[in-house]
Each structure stands twice: as C-alpha cells, then as structure tokens.
Amino acid sequence: MFDHFRADLARHGARGRLATFRLLLGNQGLWACACYRAGRHLQDHRLPPGLHQLAMAGYHLWWKVVQMTTGILISPDCRIGPGLYIGHFGQIILHADVVMGANCNISQGVTLGLARQQGRWGVPTVGDRVYIAPGAKVIGPIHLADGTVVGANAVVNCSTTENQVMVGVPARAVSEKGSGDLIILDWGRRPPGHPGAS
C-alpha cells in the first residue's frame, strides 16, 4: 500500500517535506488515491473478524467523504498499479472491476465503465503509461494497450494497440505517438523554456 502511494505521490514531482505536505493537504486527486490504496489494502489483508468489520465501516465512511469532497469514485475493488496521477478533481468514475497498470494519468470528467459489446458485458482494462484526457469515456470489455492516449471528450469502445492516440466520438486512432514519458510538474513550477520559468 505505502509503496504504491509513494509512487502516486512521486508522480507529482514534489521535492522536500514542505512541498509534499502542501500536496497532501491541497490535492484532491491524492486524497482519492490515498483512500483507494487504503481500501485495497484492507481488501487484500483481512484483519481478524470483528476488527475487520469495524475497520471497513470506518473506511466506507472515509470513502464516502472523499467521494463527496472530490467528485472521484474509485472502488477499492479496482486493481490499479503504482504511480496513479489524478491531476484535477471532479466527475471521475472507475467501475469496481477496472484493472489498470502503472504510471497512468486520469483527468477530470473521465469514466471507465460497464457496457455490452457483441453480447458480452465488461469493463476496460488499462495498460501502463496510459493517458486519459478530460471528459473521455472508456467503456466495455476492451483493453487500452501500454502508452495509449485518449483525447479529450473521446468515447472509446474498442481496444487499442500500443501507443495509439484515440480521438473523436466514437474514437478512432489518429497516430502512433503514444504517451511517451509524460512530465508531471510540481505546483508552481514551469518546464524549461516556458515563459516565467526560473
């Protein structure tokens, strides 16, 4: 649990205790990640009967508070690799059966949900280093391969191959450039060459 959450935190690039403390206090995406990681840990490491029910009751209260304050719904039943980055809060819904790899980015307004295709119900699985832009919907028993990029407001209902960039409604592949090594910056820092960068 702690290793995965440390990887989530590291994606923000915070250096030093003060920057980390600021992130933990003010970043709603990290609140949702911490809540998910704790719930997943409780699912995987059951406490003695009675104590487990008490812990789960406390956890579900926390989970509901996080949902209401962040607008982010991540079930503890999801399977999500380390390095999850949620840059902005609001209207993010991941179905309980979602499986996601390492170092993925989820933006505001994203849904990974249940749908039926060719007579089969299911939810998406997501590879490593997948970037899902604001407003995107990814539905059905499909797989987003490693390095996939889903464009803003796209609706993806088909599987992708590695490094495909998907845009549109319904989404179609427009390139094979993929997510590359996405750079996530600490609050207030700008990339080299950006106006105002120090």
User: Per residue in 5-40, pLDDT tens?
Assistant: 989 888 887 778 888 888 888 899 999 999 999 999
User: Per residue in 57-95, pLDDT tens?
Assistant: 999 999 999 999 999 999 999 999 999 999 888 899 999
- The residue with tokens 């600490």 is 186
Helices (H) and strands (E) in the chain, counts: 4, 17
In this structure, how many other beta carbons lie within 10 angstroms of the beta carbon of residue 58?
Answer: 12
Distance CA 108, CA 57 (A): 28
Distance CA 94, CA 75 (A): 7
Q: What 8-state DSSP symbol labels residue 46?
A: P
- Note whether residue 186 is domain-resident: no
pLDDT for the residue 16: 84
pLDDT for the residue 198: 47
- With 50 as the cut, is the pLDDT of residue 187 above it? no
Per the CB < 8 A criterion, the answer to whether 93 and 113 are in contact is yes
How does 130-142 read in b/e, with b if 16+ C-beta sit within 10 Å? bbbbbbbbbbbbb
- Note whether residue 197 is domain-resident: no
- Note whether residue 188 is domain-resident: no
- With 80 as the cut, is the pLDDT of residue 196 above it? no
- Note whether residue 195 is domain-resident: no
DSSP percent split of the chain into helix, strand, coil, nearest 5: 30, 20, 50
Per the CB < 8 A criterion, the answer to whether 188 and 170 are in contact is no
Tell me what the pLDDT averaged over the chain comes to: 89
- Note whether residue 184 is domain-resident: no
- With 90 as the cut, is the pLDDT of residue 172 above it? yes
Kind plus residue range of the DSSP H or E element containing 174: strand 172-175
- Return the CATH number at 127: 2.160.10.10
Q: Place 101 in a pLDDT band, splitting at 50, 70 and 90.
A: very high
Q: Residue 31 belongs to what domain range? A: 2-175
**CB-hemisphere CA count at 13 Å for 69?**
14
- Count of the separate structural domains present in the chain: 1
